[in-house]
Amino acid sequence: MKVASLFCGIGGLDKGFINAGFDVVWANDIDKYAVETYNANFDTPATLADITQYPLEDIPEFDVLIGGFPCQPFSMMGQQKGFEDTRGTVFFRQYVKALH
């Protein structure tokens, strides 16, 4: 099955899916250092982009959508604003759009 990975980071979640036999056809993160690390370790390169600005029609067809949603709004190391922080809600918007 083909996988699209939002908020891929350095690829921890992706690696698990690859090990289970899935094919990651597209990955994305906004952090350039995470993308550099991802790209050094995976055959399919991650796209460096803000997913809220990325044209969703450019994402290849996929069967499974995964994502390591941004943790800053929920982390004890952050301000713990949760869903009141826009970073804490970005996955709602993008998952719904990507599935249509």
**Residues taking part in catalysis:** 71
Reduced 3-state DSSP string for the chain:
CEEEEECCCCCHHHHHHHHCCCEEEEEEECCHHHHHHHHHHCCCCCEECCCCCCCHHHCCCCCEEEECCCCCCCCCCCCCCHHHCHHHCHHHHHHHHHHC
